[in-house]
A and B are shown apart, each in its own frame.
Chain A
Amino acid sequence: MRNTFVDCLIKRARYDDRIFLITPDVGFSVLERFADEFPDRYLNVGIAEQNAVGVAAGLALSGKRPYVYSMVPFVTMRCFEQVRVDVAYMKTNVVLAGIGGGLTYGPAGATHHAIEDIAIMRALPNMTICAPGDPIEARALMEQSFDHDGPIYIRLGRNGEPAIHGPDVKIEIGSSVKIADGDDLALITTGNTLELASRVIQAMQDRGRKATLISMPTIKPFDCDVIISLLDRGMPIVTLEEHTVIGGLGSAVAEIIAEYGKGVKFRRIGLPDEYSHTVGSQEYLRNHFGLNLERILEIIGGI
């Protein structure tokens, strides 16, 4: 996904001189190609995230389209007040590209995990939040970001995520994508749990249960209509995300269910409300926190 990000940015920057790339000293082996080709529109501001976001806002206020690239905690939380005032309040066309959504940085530890970013960013007026689940979603969202009106936070994974969608899929900011359809249950996911979710659906199918799979590449604005259509069908709903169960995808879905007045069985599957003190890879930590196929099938089996 990191390479998808930089590929899209380079392709666009070749004919769109509004594109700037700003990094607070992050991007080894990823951003060099952009820096080499567009030295005047690439800026390493040093390890200074607040300044990175402020400079980006200044560029955007001057008609440019700056992309700020760093790890999720440092491009959202370290500079949160700059994001609030300089980006969200002034509605500047700044794109905050965060790498390492969820537990991507596994053994690096909790400072580098991103488990509460969606909740925090969702609270900001004017902010669009994208969490692509595969390179196809990432490419489509990046391409739309170039002409988007207002700021975007895009939560990227790392490299090497498998493609889940076919080449003809239509992905738009603000819309969900239906990948499978069935009446037994609806599984809704966002970002880097898309691949896990598709394995869950396959396993259910193998056991004779037909489920709907919805990918939510945009968390804000949220595709409420698709949730309402599921509620009208009366099927149980399960959400899956690599984020705490507070304030993320699960909460967004719960808010719609609660206000719609047609109750269905509902479960949020995500990370618990705690920081990891366990050492291990993303996969190891997913297993530790029950974010794996077996545990999800167990939960779903009980619905």
Chain B
Amino acid sequence: MAHYSKASHVGSCLSIAEILYTLYFRILRVDPGNPNLANRDIFILSKGHGSAALYATLAERGFYPKAYLDKYYIDGGLLPGHLDKEAVPGVEVSSGSLGHGLSIGIGMAIARRTALDSGRVFVLLGDGECNEGSVWEAAMLAGTLKLENLTAIVDFNKLQSFGKTNEVIDQRNMAARWAAFGWDAHDVEGHDVAALEQVFSAPQQGPKMIVAHTVKGKSVSFMEDRLEWHYKSPNDEQYVQAIKELEGKK
């Protein structure tokens, strides 16, 4: 998708691939045939620049034809670079400006709790996104309200748009920070599907925070842990090489 449309944020997408796979194929109660199913689980991609990864996951899960993926980030396309919930079924919340998704997730979790709806709400944030003050406004409230139907994940890939995450704003104690705000915080290897599934499924006291330790550009040797892959789009040669490496890993 990113190669075809010359789009950016490839590294940001590869760091969350296993998280999205685990959620959509192992955890979330969703029905692609009925995207508005009552009591469904909600997933919010608050780091909206990872849109391509979500579009691909939703297509794979059957929310819409895979042919839609060719309509990403192009003139007259269907799928914008940052999420628009009007674009395709399965996208619950529009995003792209950082620091919005967790607050919206709290509102959804409150609505479900008040209605005795068993649906869970999941919000995926970027590590750089945690620089936004609004994230911590939301973190404080969710802890206070002890929202047991809310789970947030931080994609802790240690790179943000213009520097190394812990050099821009030191967040090495990421899980401890969330725990201090009343979250049931866990560190997990963010590319390990079994470990992710286990932590998503574990019972929780209050809101759950999963600090997913990930690698930006995961599984493509020349992209891994490289800041430039927040911006670059693979050329023809890089695309072939990347696909070869990704398929080789499977």
A interface with B by C-beta (< 8 Å): 40-41, 43, 45-46, 48, 50-51, 53-64, 66, 81-82, 85-86, 89-90
Contacts and interface: CB of A to CB of B under 8 A. Distances in A.
23 contacts: A48-B134, A48-B137, A50-B103, A51-B134, A55-B103, A55-B107, A55-B110, A55-B138, A56-B107, A57-B103, A57-B107, A58-B103, A58-B104, A58-B105, A59-B111, A61-B92, A61-B93, A61-B107, A62-B111, A81-B100, A82-B100, A85-B97, A90-B94
Given A54-B134, A81-B97, A86 B114 contact: no
B132 to A, nearest CB: 9
B94 A50 contact: no
A45 B133 CA distance: 15
Given A50-B103, A86-B100, A43 B140 contact: no
B99 interface: yes
Nearest to B107: A58
Contacts of B110: 43, 55, 58-59
Given A48-B137, A61-B104, 5 more contacts: A51-B137, A54-B102, A57-B103, A58-B103, A58-B111
B106 interface: yes
Nearest to B104: A58
Contacts, number: 88
Chain B contact surface mostly: helix
B242 interface: no
Contact of A89 (B94, B104, B109, B134): B94
Given A55-B107, A85-B97, A48 B85 contact: no
Interface centre among B92, B108, B140 (most CB of A within 10 A): B108
9 smallest CB-CB distances across A and B, nearest first, come from A58-B107, A54-B103, A62-B111, A48-B137, A51-B137, A58-B104, A55-B107, A50-B134, A59-B107
B141 A46 contact: yes
Interface in B100-141: 100, 102-112, 114, 133-134, 137-138, 140-141
A81 B92 CA distance: 19
Contacts of B103: 50-51, 53-55, 57-58, 82, 86
B13 to A, nearest CB: 21
A62 B109 CA distance: 9
Interface in B135-157: 137-138, 140-141, 144
A75 to B, nearest CB: 15
Nearest to A64: B111
Contacts of A64: 107, 111
A60 B112 CA distance: 12
Interface centre among B96, B100, B112 (most CB of A within 10 A): B100
A27 to B, nearest CB: 17
B141 A48 contact: yes
Nearest to B117: A62
B92 to A, nearest CB: 7
Interface string B57-99: 0000000000000000000000000000100000011111101
